[in-house]
Homo-oligomer: A and B are copies of this chain.
Amino acid sequence: MKSIDRILAVGKKVDPLIYRFLPADADKTFQPVLRHQISSGGKRVRAALTVLSCQATGGKTRDALIPAAIVELTHNYSLILDDVIDRGDVRRGLPTVRAQYSDAMAILAAMFYREVLDRLIEASRNPVQVRKVAVSAIKALIDGERLDILMEQSGRTGAYIEKHRFTEVRIDDYLHMIGKKTAALIKAACELGCIASNCPPKMRGSMKSYGWKIGLAFQVIDDYLDIFGEETGKVQGKDIIEHKLGNAVIMYALEAMGEDEQRAFLSLLRKEALSQEDLGEGMRLIQQTDARERTFNMGQRLVSEGIEAVRGLADSWAKKDLTSLAEFIGERLY
């Protein structure tokens, strides 16, 4: 077994726990709807991070399982609703909950997930602390999704969106958005591992810093793949098609372009529907800049900073695994 598979297997340990909590109080005919999102896969990276963070700070695996399930369920809660919001039909190669069961059932399933989360939090050993971290992470997810939407240049209507839509995205806006959309929950995953191990504050600070950095890295690399990564099964230029100004590659590309190219590129992003030709033109405009390299470097730098953050921890298998996991995110092609 490849080392990364062994590490991620740790995260998969939450599945039985989630399947045990999920159907409580649910009607039998609703249970397949509830199971769909969880059973359709996912690498359980966040759950693995909670368990590893607990182990690396002196705790036991079993103490981290409920917190890890909380993180994973939170992630899937937001995915179900993101797919409703974005009208997403396919995720991980399978129909999304909304595609399989309708928007209505997807919304109801997500609401149910939120209540199951509450039960998991109550079942954890430090419900007050766990709750605070989980609720903050969910609030961050909500605002991250909101900002991500407002950075889209087309495809949605309504006075609110038109009024608050970003017309340019600078590095600070971008980091603010991805911090909320992606890094906050990954940081929370690490923090919940520390709550489970009840480690000293300094260690917790290191783990949170690790989570934050690799969380940002995770999204930057996702952005990279959402432009260049046809080999991962993603459509090349996907985030161009989706009108996203909130993508690191696009942000860097626009920064490097002359005024004419900027105007041309933005008008592509603002088109309601892009032709293959438009997409080709968009990719060409990006490839004339150093955006690919800068995004790649940004991702690698964040990974290094994440690894650096845990250097001070006592040596252990778990610490080694945290480093490997960060490197895996850096090299990630999944």
B111 with A81: CB separation less than 8 A: yes
A119 with B146: CB separation less than 8 A: no
Q: Given the known A-B contacts A114-B114, A135-B118, A138-B115, are A143 and B26 also in contact in the complex, defined by CB atoms under 8 Å? A: yes
Q: Given the known A-B contacts A27-B143, A33-B160, are A84 and B101 also in contact in the complex, defined by CB atoms under 8 Å? A: no
Most buried by B among A29, A115, A122: A115
Docked CA distance A119–B134 (Å): 12
Instruction: Give the shortest distance, in Å, between A116 (CB) and chain B (any CB).
Output: 9
Among residues of B, the one whose C-beta sits closest to the C-beta of A164 is B29
Q: What is the oligomeric copy number?
A: 2
In chain A, positions 213-232 with a C-beta closer than 8 Å to chain B are: none
A111 with B85: CB separation less than 8 A: no
Q: Given the known A-B contacts A25-B139, A111-B138, A112-B139, are A161 and B105 also in contact in the complex, defined by CB atoms under 8 Å? A: yes
Among residues of B, the one whose C-beta sits closest to the C-beta of A30 is B146
Chain A interface main SS type = helix
Interface residues of A (CB under 8 A from B): 25-27, 29-30, 33, 81, 84-85, 100-105, 107-108, 111-112, 114-115, 118-119, 122, 131, 135-136, 138-139, 142-143, 145-146, 149, 156-161, 164
Give 25 pairs: A residue, B residue, CB < 8 Å, sorted on A: A25-B136, A26-B143, A27-B146, A30-B143, A30-B146, A33-B160, A81-B111, A85-B103, A85-B104, A85-B108, A101-B158, A101-B160, A102-B156, A102-B160, A102-B161, A104-B156, A105-B161, A108-B142, A111-B114, A111-B142, A112-B139, A115-B135, A118-B118, A118-B135, A122-B131
